[in-house]
Amino acid sequence: MNLIRLMKIEIRKLKRSKIGLILLIPVLLVWISGIMNADMNFEMQAEGISPENNFFIQSFLGYVWFMLPSSLVVITVLMTQTERGNNGILKMLSLPVSGAALCLSKFCTILLVMGMEVAFITAGYFPAAWIASRKWEYDFLIEPGYVLQIAALLFLISIPMAAIYWMLAILFHNTVAAVGVGLATVVPIVLAINTKAWFAYPMCYPMMLITSKMHELATNMGTFSIRLIPWIPTAIAATLAALTLSCTLFGRAERR
């Protein structure tokens, strides 16, 4: 079996799960809150950022700080626990395919689900901005091209974080432990982006991106630039290390 066929199998499994609800929860929470509190964006004009830009940025900040990493924790743990039930992993390992290929197919499926979530949250922006505009009689819509650009960048820089959460889900067999450790990594995100070594903590990459964009849009908030070196090499190394460990450990405990 090749990687594409394995991914098709994983996608069929996901269709039978309730993962769609997990993807919709962040969309509803982020944009309902954004609409209800849209008037607060007018207070940020003193910082040199327009209400429409702040509406978009603040909503995405809330999403990348907690919603995105938390949903990834749940999705990765859900995938591993589903296979561990009824000896699912042992059945898959009996197929004429390597454990590493199975592991990578599941990770690619996780990336697909993450991409769907980012797409949903991005698509939700447009009706939310329209509703907020009608409610507060101010145009909160910004250039769609800019929104789509941020969404694409957000997906790309979230890949190292997804790789680490997948590794943790494989490493911890207990569901409570896996979820607990995963959610514990969310707490230091705000602290990490304010240190010089932020690039060593992949879970803060999405928030670092949105924060830097906020400082670009706000003329009175100073700079918050992202240096590509050593960030890019570190991100690649972290992703490869996490995937290597995941492929090595995948199914090992079940084989015993």
pLDDT digits (tens, 9 = 90+) for 231-256: 999 999 999 999 999 999 887 655 55
Classify residue 216 as exposed, middle or buried by CB count within 10 Å of its CB (0-12, 13-18, 19+).
middle
Residues 31, 59: Cα–Cα separation, whole Å: 7
Give pLDDT, residue 247.
Answer: 92
Give the orientation angle of helix 99-136 with respect to helix 3-16, to 10 degrees.
50
Instruction: Using the predicted structure, report yes or no on whether residue 75 has a pLDDT greater than 70.
Output: yes
Give pLDDT, residue 121.
Answer: 96
Residues 96, 54: Cα–Cα separation, whole Å: 52
**Across 23-43, average pLDDT:** 91
**Across 118-134, average pLDDT:** 96
Give pLDDT, residue 237.
Answer: 98
Give pLDDT, residue 111.
Answer: 95
% pLDDT > 70, the chain: 89
**Across 26-44, average pLDDT:** 91
Q: Would you say 198 and 204 are in contact if contact means Cβ atoms under 8 Å apart?
A: yes
Confidence of residue 96 (pLDDT cuts 50, 70, 90): low
pLDDT higher at 227 or 2: 227
| pLDDT tens digit sequence for 201-213 | 999 999 999 999 9
pTM of the complete model beyond 0.75:
yes
